[in-house]
């Protein structure tokens, strides 16, 4: 069962700061996006969100299994968002909708980083980020003592970051685990989204570090992962944790 979303869970958006940036929210039906960019692209991005949502809704009308499946679905031809979600489902061993928020963030981010050379698209905790400087993203983990006390410091680099968070206790996404937060870093927001769901499903009553480490061998695109459950924390990969 999906969990009901509490607007207060997005308080962290008010903590995001950046000089010389525009910061604005865009809401289209269930899609609720925060944008940080060098130019005000609110109307252009809203139009793109509407277009991507229509593509997805039309595809689901013809292929309802794309919405309901918890297993990978192979799609060889079609629109970019459908192929991206399909590829992510195959790589992360999840249903296509496990990657929908990350896929939307990624498609929008890649399109508009041509106009704004620094841009962050945050879609329900899933982030596409292309920055020309290092930056820190906080980790919200519900009632865990680590929540908003630590963050990830991301290094300056040419390729974008995809940063996704899954939780078995907060948010509206379906999870079969009980982690407070699973945060995945990779070059793709869609792949990070699906991976966060997959690893979140493995956390039940405790963090099985041996299981997680073993499974990570099958996810070569993951650069780093943080798993938080209560007072437990698991860190892996090329990531830097900082106090915030």
Question: Is 9-243 assigned to CATH 1.20.1290.10?
Answer: no
CA of 51: how far to CAs of 81, 114, 209, 210, in Å? Answer: 11, 19, 41, 43
Cβ partners under 8 Å of residue 53, min gap 6: 28, 29, 31, 104
Q: What is the mean pLDDT of each run of 10 residues along the chain (244 residues)?
A: 37 56 93 94 98 97 96 94 98 97 97 95 93 90 91 93 84 68 97 96 94 98 97 96 90
pTM of the model: 0.90
3 state SS for 171-201: CCCCCCCCCCEEEEEECCHHHHHHHHHHHHH
How does DSSP classify residue 133? S
Neighbours of 188 (CB within 10 A): 26
Give percent above pLDDT 70 in the chain: 89
pLDDT tens for 25-49 read 999 999 999 999 999 999 999 999 9
> Which DSSP category does 159 fall into?
S
Cα angle 148-228-178, degrees, rounded to a multiple of 5: 120
- Amino acid 6: pLDDT: 41
């Amino acid at each position: 069962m999906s969990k009901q979303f509490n607007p207060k869970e997005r308080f962290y958006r008010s903590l995001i700061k950046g000089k010389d940036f525009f910061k604005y929210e865009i809401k289209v039906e269930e899609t609720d996006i925060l944008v940080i960019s060098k130019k005000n692209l609110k109307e252009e991005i809203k139009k793109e969100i509407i277009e991507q949502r229509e593509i997805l809704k039309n595809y689901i009308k013809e292929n309802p299994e794309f919405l309901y499946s918890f297993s990978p679905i192979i799609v060889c031809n079609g629109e970019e968002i459908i192929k991206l979600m399909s590829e992510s489902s195959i790589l992360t061993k999840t249903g296509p909708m496990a990657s929908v928020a990350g896929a939307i963030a990624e498609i929008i981010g890649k399109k508009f980083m041509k106009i704004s050379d620094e841009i962050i698209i945050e879609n329900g905790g899933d982030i596409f980020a292309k920055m020309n400087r290092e930056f820190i993203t906080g980790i919200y983990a519900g009632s865990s003592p680590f929540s908003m006390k630590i963050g990830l410091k991301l290094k300056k680099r040419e390729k974008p970051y995809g940063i996704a968070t899954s939780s078995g206790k907060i948010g509206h996404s379906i999870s079969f685990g009980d982690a407070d937060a699973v945060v995945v870093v990779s070059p793709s927001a869609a792949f990070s989204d699906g991976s966060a769901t997959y690893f979140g499903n493995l956390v039940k009553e405790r963090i099985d570090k041996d299981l997680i480490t073993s499974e990570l061998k099958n996810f070569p695109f993951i650069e780093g992962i943080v798993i938080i459950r209560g007072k437990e924390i698991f860190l892996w990969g090329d990531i830097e944790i900082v106090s915030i």
